[in-house]
Amino acid sequence: MVTIALETLASCSGCEISILDLHEELLELLDNAEIVYAPVLLDAKEIPEVDIAIVSGSVRNQENKERLEELRAKSKILINYGTCACYGGITGMADLYTPEEVTSRTYTDNPSTEPAELPSEVVPELLPIVHAASDFTEVDGYIPGCPPKERLVGDILIPLIHDEAPVVPKKSVCADCQRRMEHVEFDKIHRRVEGDPDPEKCFLSQGYICLGSVTLGRCGALCTAAGVACHGCGGPSLDVLREPSHDIYNGVIKRIAHLSKMPEKDVEKQMYDMGHLIYGFVIGSKIMEDKLVSKIPQLVKKEVVR
Ligand code: SF4
Ligand code: SF4
Ligand code: SF4
């Protein structure tokens, strides 16, 4: 019987819940594997030796880092599960602020709660910035998604427990999107709340920022089908990951310039809120920060050192 550990670091626990979304396939998983450690499901305090460790959430504090390192030492296969574990995810947006700003906002300077003492002795010390798990350990596989979609979880986990190589989709979100991409001359980038985009046409062709072309497409283009532009929760596309000079920011700029005939520098002048809009799911990723053209170094608070 294959043994599995599920570890939750700085996470919303949505990733663990997504494993339960396997529905009937969960039974197939449990016929062949035993979940022996999962703080979100079981009362197991010590991490045992396991075949497969699935880690979700980013590394935000010293305790996260120590648990991740212990998990690596005790597992044969370690998988980053969810965009937080793979690229820092949405939790990485804390890097737009210093740890002091984050803690004071939580405990002492929050308009909706009474100020409280900082619990310095019981809360593990925050690291200077948020990290993806692979910043500290060797990782055997990445399953991004926020959370990963249930179909993908089944397609990857079930073969893995049978010691088979999983077949994973490699295309971007655009490949599954039914919207029509077309060349239209325009000279204004719209904020997402502005106007009323045509439901048949590509958001980019209408001057709205959509990250579908630079995002790994394992969700079936859920959001664009529902009328919402892709905000990149699936993590960077394989093209972005492979090319050192290809980044989410420059990928979007180039595509809008291509579709609208606006010069790239004019598109750049209109870009807004890069921290949330462009890098919202990857700002904690060293892989993305180290890209030759990455804007992440300009966004992360400068007094911290990676
Ligand atoms: S990837 Fe998404 S669902 Fe998973 S822990 Fe992070 S925020 Fe939650
Ligand atoms: S950029 Fe967005 S709206 Fe356009 S085709 Fe790609 S996913 Fe669809
Ligand atoms: S369309 Fe984009 S934001 Fe929506 S689920 Fe897919 S990857 Fe995530």
DSSP 101-115: HHHHHHHTS-TTS--
pLDDT digits (tens, 9 = 90+) for 3-45: 999 999 999 999 988 888 888 888 888 888 999 999 988 888 8
Shared-domain flag, residues 139 and 184: no
Q: Is the CB of 10 under 6 A from ligand 2?
A: no
Q: Is the CB of 89 under 6 A from ligand 3?
A: no
Q: Is the CB of 174 under 6 A from ligand 3?
A: no
Domain extent for 16: 2-161
Q: Is the CB of 173 under 6 A from ligand 3?
A: yes
Shared-domain flag, residues 24 and 124: yes
CA of 56 to the centre of ligand 1 (A): 7
Shared-domain flag, residues 153 and 17: yes
The ligand 1 site (C-beta within 6 Å) comprises 11-12, 14-15, 56-57, 82-84, 89-90, 146-147
Peptide bond into 144 cis (omega under 30): no
Shared-domain flag, residues 6 and 82: yes
- Number of structural domains, the chain? 2
pLDDT value, residue 305: 44
- The mean predicted confidence, pLDDT, of the chain is 91
Predicted confidence (pLDDT) at residue 186 exceeds the cutoff of 80 = yes
* Structural domain contains residue 184: yes
In angstroms, the CA 197 to CA 257 distance is 19
Shared-domain flag, residues 150 and 236: no
Shared-domain flag, residues 133 and 183: no
Mean pLDDT of 298-305: 70
Shared-domain flag, residues 17 and 93: yes
Query: What's the CATH number where 35 sits?
Result: 3.40.50.700
Residue with tokens 């990485």: 92
Contact criterion met (CB below 8 Å) for 263 and 257: yes
Shared-domain flag, residues 154 and 36: yes
Q: How many CB atoms lie within 10 A of CB 236?
A: 28
Shared-domain flag, residues 197 and 218: yes
* Structural domain contains residue 182: yes
Mean pLDDT of 187-208: 94
Residues 6+ away with beta carbon under 8 Å from 43: none
pLDDT value, residue 260: 95
Predicted TM-score (pTM) above 0.85:
yes
